Amino acid sequence: MGLKLFFSRSFLLNRHFLWLLFIVNLLGTIYGYIWYDDQLYWTAVHKPDWMIPFVPDSPTSSLFFTASLLYLLYPMQKPSKAALGARVIIEALAVVCSVKYGIWAVAMIVWGAAQGDVLNWQHYMLMASHLAMAVEVLLYLRFMKAGTGALAIGLAWLLLNDTMDYTQDIYPWLPEELEDDLVSVRTFTYALSVASFIAPLILLRFRKHE
Protein backbone atom coordinates (compact mmCIF):
# COMPACT_ATOMS: atom_id res chain seq x y z
CA MET A 1 0.00 0.00 0.00
CA GLY A 2 2.96 2.31 0.65
CA LEU A 3 2.34 6.03 0.98
CA LYS A 4 -1.37 5.61 0.27
CA LEU A 5 -1.76 4.27 3.80
CA PHE A 6 -0.93 7.70 5.26
CA PHE A 7 -3.72 9.30 3.23
CA SER A 8 -6.28 6.62 3.99
CA ARG A 9 -9.36 7.01 6.14
CA SER A 10 -8.24 4.21 8.44
CA PHE A 11 -4.96 5.98 9.20
CA LEU A 12 -6.16 9.58 9.39
CA LEU A 13 -9.15 8.71 11.58
CA ASN A 14 -7.29 6.30 13.84
CA ARG A 15 -8.05 7.53 17.36
CA HIS A 16 -4.44 7.18 18.53
CA PHE A 17 -3.26 9.32 15.61
CA LEU A 18 -6.06 11.85 16.13
CA TRP A 19 -5.11 12.23 19.78
CA LEU A 20 -1.45 12.70 18.82
CA LEU A 21 -2.46 15.32 16.28
CA PHE A 22 -4.71 17.01 18.83
CA ILE A 23 -1.95 17.23 21.43
CA VAL A 24 0.62 18.50 18.93
CA ASN A 25 -1.74 21.17 17.61
CA LEU A 26 -2.83 22.19 21.11
CA LEU A 27 0.77 22.62 22.23
CA GLY A 28 1.55 24.50 19.01
CA THR A 29 -1.43 26.78 19.61
CA ILE A 30 -0.27 27.59 23.13
CA TYR A 31 3.27 28.24 21.87
CA GLY A 32 1.83 30.47 19.15
CA TYR A 33 -0.01 32.68 21.61
CA ILE A 34 3.16 32.94 23.69
CA TRP A 35 5.04 33.89 20.51
CA TYR A 36 2.59 36.78 20.02
CA ASP A 37 2.95 37.92 23.64
CA ASP A 38 4.88 41.13 22.87
CA GLN A 39 2.56 42.18 20.05
CA LEU A 40 -0.53 41.37 22.12
CA TYR A 41 0.85 43.54 24.93
CA TRP A 42 1.67 46.34 22.49
CA THR A 43 -1.82 46.17 21.02
CA ALA A 44 -3.45 46.21 24.47
CA VAL A 45 -1.49 49.35 25.34
CA HIS A 46 -1.86 51.26 22.07
CA LYS A 47 -5.13 50.02 20.57
CA PRO A 48 -8.73 49.42 21.72
CA ASP A 49 -9.21 46.07 23.43
CA TRP A 50 -11.62 44.84 20.73
CA MET A 51 -8.73 44.74 18.24
CA ILE A 52 -6.81 42.13 20.23
CA PRO A 53 -8.56 39.07 18.64
CA PHE A 54 -7.31 40.24 15.22
CA VAL A 55 -3.65 40.00 16.27
CA PRO A 56 -2.68 36.32 16.83
CA ASP A 57 -3.52 34.97 13.38
CA SER A 58 -1.61 31.67 13.24
CA PRO A 59 -2.37 30.35 16.75
CA THR A 60 -6.06 31.17 16.33
CA SER A 61 -6.00 29.24 13.06
CA SER A 62 -4.50 26.20 14.74
CA LEU A 63 -6.99 26.60 17.59
CA PHE A 64 -9.84 26.21 15.09
CA PHE A 65 -8.25 23.04 13.70
CA THR A 66 -7.59 21.68 17.19
CA ALA A 67 -11.28 22.16 17.97
CA SER A 68 -12.18 20.49 14.67
CA LEU A 69 -10.28 17.38 15.72
CA LEU A 70 -12.59 17.03 18.71
CA TYR A 71 -15.52 16.62 16.33
CA LEU A 72 -13.71 13.64 14.79
CA LEU A 73 -12.75 12.19 18.15
CA TYR A 74 -16.26 12.62 19.56
CA PRO A 75 -18.80 12.54 16.70
CA MET A 76 -22.05 14.28 17.61
CA GLN A 77 -25.11 12.08 17.74
CA LYS A 78 -28.21 13.83 16.37
CA PRO A 79 -26.81 17.35 16.81
CA SER A 80 -29.12 20.33 16.94
CA LYS A 81 -29.04 22.83 14.07
CA ALA A 82 -27.12 25.25 16.29
CA ALA A 83 -24.52 22.63 17.22
CA LEU A 84 -24.12 21.54 13.62
CA GLY A 85 -23.88 25.16 12.51
CA ALA A 86 -21.14 25.81 15.07
CA ARG A 87 -19.22 22.79 13.83
CA VAL A 88 -19.49 23.83 10.20
CA ILE A 89 -18.24 27.36 10.93
CA ILE A 90 -15.36 26.20 13.14
CA GLU A 91 -14.24 23.71 10.50
CA ALA A 92 -14.47 26.29 7.72
CA LEU A 93 -12.41 28.76 9.75
CA ALA A 94 -9.90 26.01 10.48
CA VAL A 95 -9.49 25.31 6.78
CA VAL A 96 -9.24 28.78 5.26
CA CYS A 97 -7.25 30.29 8.15
CA SER A 98 -4.75 27.44 8.40
CA VAL A 99 -4.14 27.36 4.65
CA LYS A 100 -3.76 31.13 4.52
CA TYR A 101 -1.53 31.72 7.52
CA GLY A 102 0.40 28.49 7.07
CA ILE A 103 1.52 29.63 3.62
CA TRP A 104 1.75 33.32 4.59
CA ALA A 105 4.24 32.73 7.41
CA VAL A 106 6.51 30.63 5.20
CA ALA A 107 6.33 33.22 2.42
CA MET A 108 7.25 36.08 4.77
CA ILE A 109 10.25 34.21 6.19
CA VAL A 110 11.54 33.28 2.73
CA TRP A 111 10.84 36.80 1.40
CA GLY A 112 12.71 38.33 4.32
CA ALA A 113 15.64 35.94 3.85
CA ALA A 114 15.81 36.86 0.16
CA GLN A 115 16.37 40.47 1.24
CA GLY A 116 19.03 39.71 3.79
CA ASP A 117 17.31 38.51 6.96
CA VAL A 118 19.51 35.94 8.68
CA LEU A 119 17.60 32.74 9.43
CA ASN A 120 18.06 30.69 12.58
CA TRP A 121 16.63 27.40 13.84
CA GLN A 122 13.40 29.11 14.93
CA HIS A 123 12.73 30.28 11.38
CA TYR A 124 13.07 26.73 10.07
CA MET A 125 10.89 25.39 12.88
CA LEU A 126 8.24 28.00 12.07
CA MET A 127 8.35 27.18 8.36
CA ALA A 128 7.93 23.45 9.03
CA SER A 129 5.10 23.92 11.55
CA HIS A 130 3.21 26.46 9.43
CA LEU A 131 3.49 24.37 6.29
CA ALA A 132 2.12 21.46 8.30
CA MET A 133 -0.85 23.64 9.29
CA ALA A 134 -1.82 24.10 5.66
CA VAL A 135 -1.29 20.46 4.71
CA GLU A 136 -3.17 18.88 7.61
CA VAL A 137 -6.39 20.84 7.13
CA LEU A 138 -6.48 19.98 3.45
CA LEU A 139 -5.96 16.31 4.32
CA TYR A 140 -8.85 16.39 6.78
CA LEU A 141 -11.21 18.51 4.70
CA ARG A 142 -12.88 15.37 3.30
CA PHE A 143 -13.96 14.37 6.81
CA MET A 144 -15.41 17.77 7.66
CA LYS A 145 -18.96 19.09 7.28
CA ALA A 146 -17.94 22.54 6.04
CA GLY A 147 -19.26 23.41 2.59
CA THR A 148 -19.20 26.34 0.19
CA GLY A 149 -21.35 28.64 2.33
CA ALA A 150 -19.28 28.10 5.46
CA LEU A 151 -16.03 28.57 3.54
CA ALA A 152 -17.43 31.87 2.22
CA ILE A 153 -17.95 32.97 5.82
CA GLY A 154 -14.35 31.97 6.46
CA LEU A 155 -13.24 34.12 3.53
CA ALA A 156 -15.23 37.06 4.91
CA TRP A 157 -13.38 36.66 8.23
CA LEU A 158 -10.00 36.58 6.45
CA LEU A 159 -10.76 39.73 4.47
CA LEU A 160 -12.00 41.51 7.60
CA ASN A 161 -8.85 40.44 9.42
CA ASP A 162 -6.68 41.67 6.54
CA THR A 163 -8.46 45.02 6.55
CA MET A 164 -7.99 45.39 10.29
CA ASP A 165 -4.33 44.40 10.04
CA TYR A 166 -3.39 46.87 7.33
CA THR A 167 -5.62 49.81 8.25
CA GLN A 168 -4.97 49.65 12.00
CA ASP A 169 -1.32 48.53 11.80
CA ILE A 170 -1.87 45.32 13.76
CA TYR A 171 -0.54 42.98 11.07
CA PRO A 172 1.92 40.31 12.28
CA TRP A 173 5.31 41.85 12.87
CA LEU A 174 7.50 41.46 9.82
CA PRO A 175 11.26 41.11 9.34
CA GLU A 176 12.82 44.57 9.20
CA GLU A 177 13.79 43.88 5.60
CA LEU A 178 10.09 43.80 4.61
CA GLU A 179 8.92 46.97 6.30
CA ASP A 180 9.53 48.98 3.12
CA ASP A 181 7.56 46.41 1.11
CA LEU A 182 4.36 46.79 3.12
CA VAL A 183 2.19 47.59 0.10
CA SER A 184 3.35 44.43 -1.66
CA VAL A 185 2.91 42.39 1.52
CA ARG A 186 -0.65 43.72 1.88
CA THR A 187 -1.51 42.87 -1.73
CA PHE A 188 -0.06 39.38 -1.34
CA THR A 189 -2.00 38.88 1.89
CA TYR A 190 -5.36 39.78 0.34
CA ALA A 191 -4.65 37.58 -2.69
CA LEU A 192 -3.69 34.69 -0.44
CA SER A 193 -6.97 35.04 1.46
CA VAL A 194 -8.89 34.53 -1.78
CA ALA A 195 -6.65 31.63 -2.79
CA SER A 196 -7.21 30.02 0.61
CA PHE A 197 -10.93 30.02 -0.15
CA ILE A 198 -10.57 28.73 -3.71
CA ALA A 199 -8.22 25.83 -2.89
CA PRO A 200 -10.61 23.98 -0.54
CA LEU A 201 -13.49 24.72 -2.90
CA ILE A 202 -11.65 22.80 -5.59
CA LEU A 203 -10.95 19.93 -3.20
CA LEU A 204 -14.62 19.82 -2.19
CA ARG A 205 -15.47 18.78 -5.74
CA PHE A 206 -13.53 15.57 -5.15
CA ARG A 207 -14.61 15.01 -1.55
CA LYS A 208 -16.08 11.59 -0.94
CA HIS A 209 -19.01 11.50 1.41
CA GLU A 210 -17.89 8.70 3.67
Distances (CA, A) of 10 to 16, 18, 36, 207: 11, 11, 36, 16
- Please return the burial class of 176, using the count of CB atoms within 10 Å of its CB with bins 0-12, 13-18 and 19+: exposed
Q: Phi, psi at residue 200, to the nearest 5°? A: -65, -30
Check residue 4 and give its pLDDT.
72
Check residue 1 and give its pLDDT.
52
Which residue from 22, 29, 27 is spatially nearest to 69, judged by alpha carbons? 22
* Cβ atoms of residues 100 and 193 within 8 Å: yes
Check residue 6 and give its pLDDT.
65
What does each of the 210 residues of the chain score in pLDDT, given as a tens digit? 566 766 788 889 999 999 999 999 999 999 999 999 999 999 999 999 999 999 999 999 999 999 999 999 998 888 889 999 999 999 999 999 999 999 999 999 999 999 999 999 999 999 999 999 999 999 999 999 999 999 999 999 999 999 999 999 999 999 999 999 999 999 999 999 999 999 999 998 876 544
Domain boundaries, the chain: 2-204
Which residue from 126, 148, 167 is spatially nearest to 207, judged by alpha carbons? 148
Q: How far apart are the first and last CA of the chain?
A: 20
Q: What is the pTM of this model?
A: 0.93
Give me the helices (H) in 47-147, please. Answer: 57-73, 81-114, 121-140
Check residue 135 and give its pLDDT.
95
Buried b (16+ CB within 10 A) or exposed e, 40-62: beebeeebeeeebebbbbbbbbb
Check residue 78 and give its pLDDT.
85
Check residue 207 and give its pLDDT.
65
